[in-house]
Amino acid sequence: MPRNPMELNTDFSLKALNTFHVEAAAATYVRFDSVDEIIDFLGRNDLDGHRRLVLGGGSNLLFVDDFDGIVLHPLLKGIDVIKADRRHIWVRAMAGENWDDLVALAVSNGWAGIENLSLIPGSVGASAVQNIGAYGAEVKGVIDRVEAICIRSREQVRLSAKECRFGYRSSNFKRRWAGQFIITAVVFKLGLEPDFVLDYPGVKAAVQAMGPITLDRVRRAIVSIRQSKLPDPALIGNAGSFFKNPVIDGDALARLLTLNPDLPYYPQGGDHFKLAAGWLIDRCGWKGRQVGAAAVHHRQALVLVNLGGAAGRDILELSEQVHRSVFERFGIELDREVLVVP
Ligand code: EPU
């Protein structure tokens, strides 16, 4: 388990810190409990030229090998209301808070906007890196700003949602700024009047079955839908969807539909259509298939699981086989959602 803050741990096992539960050792690991500790540490250690990884909840990465660099693990805690007006409340959550604890707190206080994102594993800081999304909502819709420390200059910066350029499971933290910042807090602008988003298939019916629509019932419906399909990472190693849902144009869609008339697709505006990668993988016959201790989940083919004792490279190898099958059958190159750490 994580040792004392700012203590440099060498040859440190990351098994308990990644939800695939694969064995990997960090050459160096250091955890932080405050912004000051991070700034102080960066002042005393020059990280230029060192491989580094900022770890959140470890729920969206796959270690393929030992990590021969430094793992920086901010575990900053705290949630505060920083302002409110008649319609909104601004809530600042530190990066190391558990995402779903924040959702539970928001729902119990009647703060709306993240209830559809219930039960997503991971930390508040990572929610912004990844622009987490589920059941018709994405966190970008409620992020006001992100606070971070620039690793090189040690300066604290505030990045507006616009600067972060959030996209589908992506942001500048994954692209232009990769490896440059340590996120310390995220400020969310939540609603004091709910604006329910219930269009995702199955959501409205599940909520209405409980009675009149409330934030708490939406949360409970989402939790139950997730639990019925997705494996609990505490029980079975996984990192949620392994691949992103591919987006294709109308011509490509028309070609696919001639051979696969039941192909699900979701118009994204313009000539863009999102496909369900889980459906494509399922159609290739992968659902529930096991290769050694790695497997494709039996209820959701987009999720790869560690049945116990799989190495990171076993899961990577399985993902490559899945990728190849989907390409051979449908001509579609799946992009990974999970960050593979070589
Ligand atoms: N499907 C199959 N077989 C499968 C899996 C899915 O046929 O094995 C079909 C379903 O029947 C449905 C369609 O594919 O018609 C979509 O499935 P689902 O509603 O389960 O959602 P998804 O597109 O597979 C995405 C997100 C999930 C998120 C759900 C709900 C991505 C990559 N994944 O999955 O996010 O929870 O929608 O909004 O966008 C994650 O990012 O880790 C994650 C779990």
Token pair of 207, please?
Answer: 């909520």
Mutate to test the pocket of ligand 1, among 232, 302, 338, 339 (most ligand atoms within 8 A of CB): 302
Q: Which amino acid is at 99?
A: W
pLDDT at 2 over 80: no
Q: Hey, whose CA ends up nearest to atom 5 of ligand 1?
A: 278
The answer to whether the beta carbons of residues 251 and 277 sit under 8 Å apart is no
118 lines ligand 1 (CB under 6 A): no
pLDDT of residue 102: 98
The answer to whether the beta carbons of residues 278 and 284 sit under 8 Å apart is no
Domain boundaries, the chain: 7-74, 79-229, 237-247+277-341
pLDDT at 100 over 70: yes
- Torsion angle, alpha carbons of 79, 80, 83, 85, to 10: 60
User: Of the residues 115, 138, 147, 337, which is catalytic?
Assistant: 337
pLDDT at 19 over 70: yes
Percent of the chain residues topping a pLDDT of 90: 96
CATH number for the region 79-229 comes to 3.30.465.10
Mutate to test the pocket of ligand 1, among 241, 263, 297, 298 (most ligand atoms within 8 A of CB): 241
pLDDT of residue 7: 86
Average pLDDT, the chain: 97
Helix, strand, coil shares of the chain, percent, nearest 5, are: 30, 30, 40
User: Of the residues 147, 241, 283, 319, which is catalytic?
Assistant: 241
Give the C-alpha separation, 313 to 165, whole Å: 32
CATH number for the region 7-74 comes to 3.30.43.10
The string of pLDDT tens digits covering residues 251-309 is 999 999 999 999 999 999 999 999 999 999 999 999 999 999 999 999 999 999 999 99
User: β-strand 52-54 against 67-74: which pairing, if any?
Assistant: parallel
pLDDT at 312 over 90: yes
pLDDT at 241 over 70: yes
Range name among 42-56, 119-133, 142-156 with the lowest pLDDT average:
42-56
The string of pLDDT tens digits covering residues 203-239 is 999 999 999 999 999 999 999 999 999 999 999 999 9
pLDDT of residue 103: 99
134 lines ligand 1 (CB under 6 A): yes
Report the nearest atom of ligand 1 relative to the CA of 245: 32
| Residue 328 pLDDT level (bands cut at 50, 70, 90) | very high
Nearest C-alpha neighbor of 189 from the set 104, 123, 108, 91:
91
pLDDT of residue 5: 78
Give the C-alpha separation, 116 to 158, whole Å: 26
Ranges assigned E (strand) in the chain: 9-13, 25-32, 52-54, 61-63, 67-74, 79-84, 88-94, 133-134, 137-138, 143-150, 156-160, 181-191, 237-241, 247-249, 265-267, 272-275, 290-291, 294-296, 303-306, 339-341
The answer to whether the beta carbons of residues 61 and 338 sit under 8 Å apart is yes
Can you give the pTM of this predicted structure? Answer: 0.97
| Residue 144 pLDDT level (bands cut at 50, 70, 90) | very high
pLDDT at 128 over 80: yes
State which fold the 237-247+277-341 domain adopts.
Answer: 3.90.78
User: Of the residues 169, 217, 226, 283, which is catalytic?
Assistant: 169
241 lines ligand 1 (CB under 6 A): yes
Token pair of 243, please?
Answer: 């691949």
